[in-house]
Amino acid sequence: MITSRARILCLGAATLVVLGELLRLAIGLLGPDPGASLSHTITYGIALLSMYAVLVALTAVYFGNHRVLGVVGLVGYLTASLGTVLVAGDWWFEAFAVPMIGANAPAILELPPRGSLIAGALITVGMFAAGWTMFGVAILRSRVCSRPAAVLLVLGGTCGVLALSTPFQIPLAVAIGWMGATLKQSSAREPAAARTAETGHGAAA
């Protein structure tokens, strides 16, 4: 039951992330984003919602498999959770604060980033990338989903260093969806393996 819910959550989170990234990419291709537009708020509102969905999916996968994910999985889960929350904070600012700044003081949005803003961005992408990469390694080692999905999760995690740029969250989103799609199949093999091991011990006794 837990695995089935985690599968649905992963697929939903992946869909929202890809949708948000495509909308951000479309806005960028259409020309300079004034920031005060309704489309800007809607786009980053969806991106914000996608980070919430990703956090819920990450939690479902971890607690459904925490016994086999080990210490690396725990550290990866905690770090990826923090990184995801930090990215969500950036999307909240874009969705709700930037439109007000764009409407009343647009010159501020033209200023180059520096100081604490750069430090905050580095901490955000650092935590996001490190956490998802570690979690991907734990998933790969524990074999709770297909190996290609786990490998892509690791690669998607490394792309997290560009998480605040479009469209570099898409590889991770695809990996999360793929992980969810194969999670039930992989988890279903664990009870069978456990029963086999118990039968072997019983025969030996």
pLDDT at 123: 97
pLDDT at 72: 97
Of the candidates 29, 161, 43, the one whose C-alpha atom is nearest the C-alpha of residue 91 is: 43
Please tell me the distance from the alpha carbon of residue 102 to that of residue 165, in angstroms, as a whole number: 20
Consecutive 10-residue runs of the chain (205 residues): their mean pLDDT?
A: 85 96 86 73 95 97 94 97 97 93 86 92 97 97 94 96 92 96 60 43 46
pLDDT at 189: 44
User: Global pTM?
Assistant: 0.84
Cβ(132)–Cβ(150) below 8 Å: no
Helices marked H in 31-115: 38-92, 98-104, 106-109
Please tell me the distance from the alpha carbon of residue 59 to that of residue 77, in angstroms, as a whole number: 8
Q: Cα separations (Å) of 34 from 9, 38, 54, 106, 147? A: 33, 10, 28, 8, 43
Please tell me the distance from the alpha carbon of residue 87 to that of residue 90, in angstroms, as a whole number: 5
Please tell me the distance from the alpha carbon of residue 1 to that of residue 58, in angstroms, as a whole number: 16
What 3-state class would DSSP assign to 115?
coil
Q: Kindly calculate the radius of gyration of the chain based on its CA atoms and give it in whole angstroms.
A: 20
